[in-house]
Structures are given as structure tokens and as C-alpha cells.
Amino acid sequence: MHNIIDPEKRAHRWGFKGTGFTIENGDLIFKSDRPEFSFFANKPLPDFLPYICGVLDIKLFDGPINEEVKEKVIPPAIINNAFCTELPKILSEERYTQENIERLIHSHAQTTSEEIYKVLYNGVLPRMVDMVIFPESQEEIESLIKLGSAHNVCLVPYGGGTSVSSALLIPEKEKRMVVSIDMRLMDKIEWIDRDNNLACIQTGITGRHLEEKLHAEGFTLGHEPDSLEFSTLGGWISTNASGMKRNKYGNIEDIVQSFTIVTPTGNISEKSLHDRVSMGMSVNKVIFGSEGNLGIITKAIVRLHAKPLKKEYQSVLFPDFTEGMAFLKELSQSFIKPASIRLVDNNQFKFGLVLKPHDKGFIEKLMGSLQKSFILKVKKFHPDKMCLATIVMEGNTDEVYYQKKIIGKIAKKHNTLLGGSGNGKRGYALTNVIAYIRDFLMDYHCIGETLETTISWDKVEPLGKALEECINVTHQELKLPGKPYLSYRVTQMYHGSVCVYIMFGVYTHGIDQPEDVFKTLEERMRERVLELGGSISHHHGVGKLRKKFVNKVMSEEQINLAKSVKNQLDPDNIFGIGNTY
């Protein structure tokens, strides 16, 4: 038996086993032995819980905590006898299972609050997969799809389970046997072309393992989403993903040169391996963002970059968000493109500071006492307005030196203060801790979520104000206790727009069916984003969570064209996950 249950990964919550938040002697502690969390791990974080209670206007320990349901409700599996009879001709018995734990794990993702809440605290999902299969080769996948088509079995591709769009939820009305195709065993680098900086890689590989293997060969892919540890190459293609280092390496559509997808009507792969051609419609581009609706992406040819010789971090403190945006705008119009730059608003700035493991005021955590006096009295920064940008620069020594020089020159023009490399590195690493915080606080009746959007430069600050008004009004209408939390950051820059990543949360103790109430709030927020001209998503896809909004951002003709591709490649809806349209 292969490692069917991932030995490192938590089953229904985000992250690694042995890593997460706990309370000891009244203090919050982030337990972990992983080196990437050394900034936060295994030390008291005395300011965090008082901060959360303050911003939500609650007493966190009032009433019992949410207890996870130990015995989950697992309905009997639907069995297609003909399919099950022929399956052993394709796979050995140790590579498919109907174990209840695996069926449940493969019926949801780890990062959408609504479905996680239903799994943890209600112990039930409306519909689950009936079998999980672990193929090892392209030939096995081709045979499995033919078998599913022959016996009308619904097939669902499964990568890392990191969807934040309810994309893995099985449609409740699905009456056929549903089989999850887990791609984790297809995790090999098939070849590396050093002359042309290309590699052919199987799509079940996680970002973490892919970078480890490429680094050993002297390369990097450069795609670094927040979910890097668990998300897969196939998942990145199917959601049209973006990563934190997009400025230097591009989005997934820039990184992947071609790929192979197996559909019920045949295989699609691009024969040309050139960077750009003019040969009619680009059929492969249609597959980006297909979200499991068309088939299984088995391998991809990707563009490689030399492993950076040097990496440096920096942070820049601004008096307010407006000045921070002016800095980003000027930087975006220069020829300098650091690998990553993220600007957080004041709320998210404070959120990061209270995660420092020592008991000081939040300004002292950024600087010492002399610097504090300089910030407040000389620079006249206000603690409730200032914000921070974290920057990652990587490449060769000269490239990084030049970036630092130009960034410092631009920063001086915007009444800034350089916060140092330590704060830049901490700010960058904090991203990987946020999901653990969400899961911890859910036990204490706090439900949080993120949404992201692409929006024009001039609409970023109006968006922040509109969302603040929206969440406050909706919070009152829903009669939720305490106060809502809202913060946001700018994470990717483009010529005429940026990606804004929004965090929000509420306290739900005493509220019936809080996950459904929270969904109402999330949809109101999404509607407000679209009203201001924001996109339905920048890099997380549509899934089922945002499906109702597609007709607000796409014309009827566009939707019909997408559906016609589905009908052509999968006329019997064998890949019936039902995402997007």
C-alpha cells in the first residue's frame, strides 16, 4: 500500500501535523518544528489574543469552544458494479480505496470556511465521493477515463486539496458513482532540457517537492503561491493560478509552455515547444482555469530559471496607505521588478506585529525606542494609519544590488522609512501562518475568510472604504455579536491594475448555522467588489463558491462558448464536478 493517507498533512484542517496554534498558561503559542516558521514558533505570543478580542470586541473564552465532531457521518458508497469489476484490470487493489476517511478527505478542500465548518462541527457533507483512485501513469489515466465513460461513472481530479472556492464539493444531485482521481503518485520530473531551460513534469507534484527537486538541479520554477507546500502543478493550471513572485517569474500561464490533458474524447497536447507562435486559435489556453470540468492534466512542459544566487528582503514603512500606493505605482512604472512586493493596510500591519513573540507595544516591535520617537515625533506617523510594504529581491548579486538602490531612491520620495530585512522576511513568512490562525480561531466561534480580486489602481482605496461599509452594515443586519474584522493587502502589480487580497472575519457564538450566515456576508462582500469593477477572482478560480456571479462578469456568448468546449470534450459529463458555469 502506498502512503494513501499523507503522513505529514492534517486530515481536515490546513497544514502539517504537529504544527498549529495552542494555548498554554493563558498565552498563545504556535507549535512547530519546521524551519520556515522559526520566526513565530514555540514562543509565547502574549499580544495576539488581547488584540483579537479588542478588534472583535469580544471575550474569546465566553462559553464552550466548538468541539470537532469525532464520528463523521459517512453515507454508504454508491457502487457501479460493472466499473468495479473491471477496475482490477487497470490498477492493483492497493491503489484504490473506499475507506471512509479517504472518501471524506477527497470530498472537500482544506481552506474554504463554509465546508470546513460543516466537516469539523457538523460532521457531515451533503454528498461524498464513493471511491478514491491513485494512478501512476498517463496510460492508467487514459484507461480509467475510458472505463468511466463506458460505465457512466463521474470522475473528479484531485491535486493538493487546497481549493478556496468549494471546487471539490460534489454536486448534491449527482446520482452516479463518483470516483476521485488523486494525482499524488504522478510527481516525477520526466526530463530537464538544460540547453533551453525547459522541463517536463508530472502534474501531481506539490510545489514544495517540485522546488526541492529543481533546486537540486540548479533551477527554480519561481511559482510560489501561499499554498506552495500542498498545492500541485495540475491544480495551478486548472485554476489559472498566480504566485507571490509573479513580478519576476510570471503567472502560471507564463510559466507553463504546454501540457497534456486526457479527456473523454481524446488527448490534447501542443506539439510546438516554442515560446510563441502564430498558428490560429490557441486551444491550450482554453484549459487554463478549466477547474476539473474537462479532463485530467497529466504533465506540463514548464520554463525554468537559474536558482537565484542571492536573495534579500526589505520592508518600507509609510505614513498611510495612500503614500504606500503612490510608491507602488511609481515602482510599477520603473524597470525594477522585485520578485515580490506586498503592501498591507494598517489593520494587517498590526495583525502581523502582534504575532511577534515578545511583550512590547506594536511600535517597539518594529523599531527600538529611539526609532519609535523618530517615527512618531519627527516623521509624525500615526500608529492607526501607518502601513508596511514587504519586498523580496532575488537574482544575481548585481541584480539585487541594483534593485535595492532604485527601491531606496524611490522610497525617499514618498516620506518613507526603511524597516529592515528582518521585518521584510517576517512579513513574507507570515502568509504561511494565516491559515493556521483561521483554523484555531474557528474553535472559538470566529469564522474568517479571504477573497481576492483584480482591480484598477484608482479603485483600490475606494474598494477598501466600500468593503468596510459593507461589512459593518451586513454585520448589523445579521445581528452578529461584537465587531467585524477587515484588512487587505496589495500583492501583485500590473500595468493598469493590481491584485487586492482581503481578509475578513466575525464572531458567531450563539448564532444558528453560523457557516450559512457567514456565507451571506461573503456574498455581500463579493457583490460589492464586482460593483466597483473588481474581477470575480485574481488567482483562486470560481469553483462553486463564486459560480452565481459568473454572469455578472461574462457575457452570455462567452459562457456559451465555454460550455460548447465542455460539450465537445466531455459530451456525457464524465467530469461532472460542475465548477464555474
H-run or E-run covering 192:
strand 189-193
Beta strands in 508-542 (DSSP E): none
Residue carrying C-alpha cell 484588512: 487
Residues 6+ apart with CB under 8 A from 265: 568, 569, 570, 571
Give the other-Cβ count within 10 Å of 377's Cβ: 9
Cell of 279: 498558428
Residue carrying C-alpha cell 504533465: 299
SS3 32: coil
Active site residues: 501
Give the other-Cβ count within 10 Å of 159's Cβ: 28
Q: Is the dihedral of CA 542, 545, 549, 555 positive or negative?
A: positive
Residue carrying C-alpha cell 473528479: 156
Question: Is-contact 317 424, C-beta < 8 A?
Answer: no
* Residue 363 backbone dihedrals phi, psi, to 5 degrees: -70, -40
| Region for 483 from its dihedrals, namely left if φ exceeds 0, alpha if ψ lies in -120 to 50, beta otherwise | beta
Cell of 285: 489556453
SS3 180: strand
Give the other-Cβ count within 10 Å of 290's Cβ: 25
Residues 6+ apart with CB under 8 A from 218: 306, 307
User: What b/e sequence results for 70-109 when a residue is b if at least 16 CB atoms lie within 10 Å of its CB, and e otherwise?
Assistant: eebebeeebebeebbeebeebbeeebbbeeeebbbbbbbb
Give the other-Cβ count within 10 Å of 173's Cβ: 9
Cα–Cα distances in angstroms (integers) from residue 499 to residues 241, 335, 386, 456, in the given order: 12, 20, 20, 9
